């Protein structure tokens, strides 16, 4: 597989337009999701144990994604029939409906998104793409096959991106539970001398230095 076939998009790139077959019918990405955030996540294969725990957790917490105006999309290089049967198994055996579409990929989507690694054969890696309402890729996470994802972190990331976009601030580590700043947010650093000189006076007790100032949410 050469580099041309297995591309890796970057944060800030426009998500490539494509038509996809899913368990909920044919969809157009990202056009069918204008105005929505998207979490697109790939898994190595249907009927595998770690993937089953992940899909169960995503489906269990779909209402939390709904409240954040966010749609879920799963993906693996399995036929749509396999996806449907796996979703049925999860519902029958774990009492959880898979309430979001799963993309049936023959490799075209995975190659465009860099989800195929040479040592994994035809299995996609555990990738996560967070795409904003304008179709821009805002966050990418990659996990190895043996480690399941953390749905809490994906939800936290969406909340942080949305708050940052709305308020033009940056978010500290593990916001809103940062050990230094708690749930406070970071004011973008000054980019000129005059602003830097005024910064500590402007924010008084909420600066460690001109380049590290914060404020309440």
State phi, psi for 96 to the nearest 5 degrees.
Answer: -140, 120
State phi, psi for 98 to the nearest 5 degrees.
Answer: -85, 100
- DSSP annotation of 124: B
d(CA 27, CA 33): 9
Q: How many helices (H) and strands (E) does the chain have?
A: 6, 10
Choose, from 38, 39, 51, 115, the residue flagged as catalytic.
51
d(CA 163, CA 174): 14
- DSSP annotation of 178: B
d(CA 147, CA 30): 28
Burial 175-203 (b: 16+ CB within 10 A, else e): bbebeebeebbbbeebeeeeeeeebeeee
User: Does the annotation count 213 as an active-site position?
Assistant: no
- Among all residues, which ones are annotated catalytic? 51
């Amino acid at each position: 597989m050469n580099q041309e076939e297995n591309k890796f998009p970057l944060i800030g790139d426009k998500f490539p337009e494509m038509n996809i077959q899913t368990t909920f019918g044919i969809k157009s990405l990202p056009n069918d999701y204008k105005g929505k955030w998207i979490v697109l996540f790939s898994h190595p294969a249907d009927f595998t144990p770690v993937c089953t725990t992940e899909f169960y957790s995503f489906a269990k917490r779909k209402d939390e994604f709904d409240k954040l105006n966010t749609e879920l999309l799963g993906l693996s290089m399995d036929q749509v029939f396999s996806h449907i049967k796996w979703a049925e198994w999860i519902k029958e055996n774990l009492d959880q409906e898979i309430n979001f579409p799963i993309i049936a990929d023959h490799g075209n989507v995975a190659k465009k998104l860099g989800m195929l690694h040479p040592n994994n054969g035809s299995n996609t890696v555990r990738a996560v793409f967070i795409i904003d309402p304008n179709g821009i890729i805002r966050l990418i996470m990659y996990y190895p096959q043996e480690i399941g994802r953390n749905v809490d972190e994906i939800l936290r990331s969406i909340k942080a991106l949305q708050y940052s976009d709305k308020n033009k601030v940056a978010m500290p580590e593990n916001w809103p539970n940062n050990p230094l700043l708690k749930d406070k947010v970071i004011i973008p650093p000054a980019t000129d001398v005059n602003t830097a000189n005024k910064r500590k006076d402007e924010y008084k007790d909420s600066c460690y230095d001109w380049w590290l100032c914060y404020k309440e949410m």
